[in-house]
Structure 1
């Protein structure tokens, strides 16, 4: 097991991640081999396997790191799911998808599905965290919070994905104007019960 606090380990992992991202831009995920990653990172294959089980584990870490780096500080510290936080999550999710799909050549439907599922799960966890932080306990049970988080994240993700695939990429403000009221009205009707 590697010591994740060791500067050499951190440096090696960064070399691997950088090589992987460079290869994603040029080859696409399915065409990338561990040998390719190791060669680009200037390490041997055994060193790669000291750090990652396979390229799927590396993909997961890459997705997670990029997603968490894009979450605005106000969202991380939010005590309530407000219209402003909703807007930030819509723009962040859309921006993440645009960046990821632009950088990565999604040459495999299974990989695209994997990436999409990962994004959906991270968005849902982020929203659930905000709901759990809410000062007033208008959301009665943990089960309700999980369901509301799933519905809210699905709405945001699906709308952002559709916006990306339908080519409205230069008008994220319109996306926000469509999705934010829908989400906030839905949550408002639930909270008024």
Structure 2
């Protein structure tokens, strides 16, 4: 389930950041498979009980690490009050491309890909889905029922954006992320107004 950035006790926030930093360093050094909760706790200078007070295991830490980094990047580009407009949607698409270029497989060992890829894809796609769903549900329809359920529309949109970004990030990147975003926007915008029965402003 997509998470939300919440105001938390500064001490809790600091501990989470220590755990995130330790986790990131260890993944780059040893690989995800090779590290343990004990390794992370020792690097973060906390005990195992403190680790488990924040995360169930290293997989939960990875999930939170991905989601919180994505949320922070989106928040830095788009205000909380942002709504669905063509310019905001294009900015969100570019942000997804930015995120993948910054974090996807950064320091990831080859034998970690099978474990990390599904977790990474699920976390980012769900966070992207959450942003798009919150935007679309606030847009009034132009008349008549939606041709397909809103959930189906948002799922298709989120995977179109995310899938394109993954392919771009793993390729030669011969085309700039801005140009790729325009191409993705062309595909999305050709279908969205009809299927969702909405009028999107510039």
- TM-score normalised by L of structure 2: 0.82
Per mean C-alpha deviation after superposition, the further-off stretch among 19-28 and 154-163 is 19-28
Task: Specify every segment of 5 or more residues in structure 2 that has no aligned partner in the other structure, as ranges.
Answer: 1-6
**Is residue 185 of structure 2 the alignment partner of residue 180 of structure 1?**
yes
Equivalence map 1:14-29=2 (5 Å): 14-29=17-32
Cα drift, residue 15 of structure 1 = 1.4
> What RMSD over aligned residues (CA atoms) do the two structures have, in Å?
2.4
**Is residue 94 of structure 2 the alignment partner of residue 91 of structure 1?**
yes
State the alpha-carbon separation in 1 of the partners of residues 165 and 17 from structure 2: 30
Q: Structure 2 residue aligned with 1:35, among 35, 38, 48?
A: 38
State the alpha-carbon separation in 2 of the partners of residues 117 and 171 from structure 1: 25
Distance of aligned partners of 1:181 and 1:7 in 2 relative to their CA distance in 1, 3 Å threshold: closer
Q: Give the match's secondary structure for 2:187.
A: helix
Per mean C-alpha deviation after superposition, the further-off stretch among 17-26 and 147-156 is 17-26
Equivalence map 1:107-126=2 (5 Å): 107-126=112-131
- TM-score normalised by L of structure 1: 0.85
Q: Structure 1 residue aligned with 2:65, among 62, 82, 95?
A: 62
Task: Specify every segment of 5 or more residues in structure 1 that has no aligned partner in the other structure, as ranges.
Answer: none
**Is residue 157 of structure 2 the alignment partner of residue 152 of structure 1?**
yes
Distance of aligned partners of 1:47 and 1:78 in 2 relative to their CA distance in 1, 3 Å threshold: closer
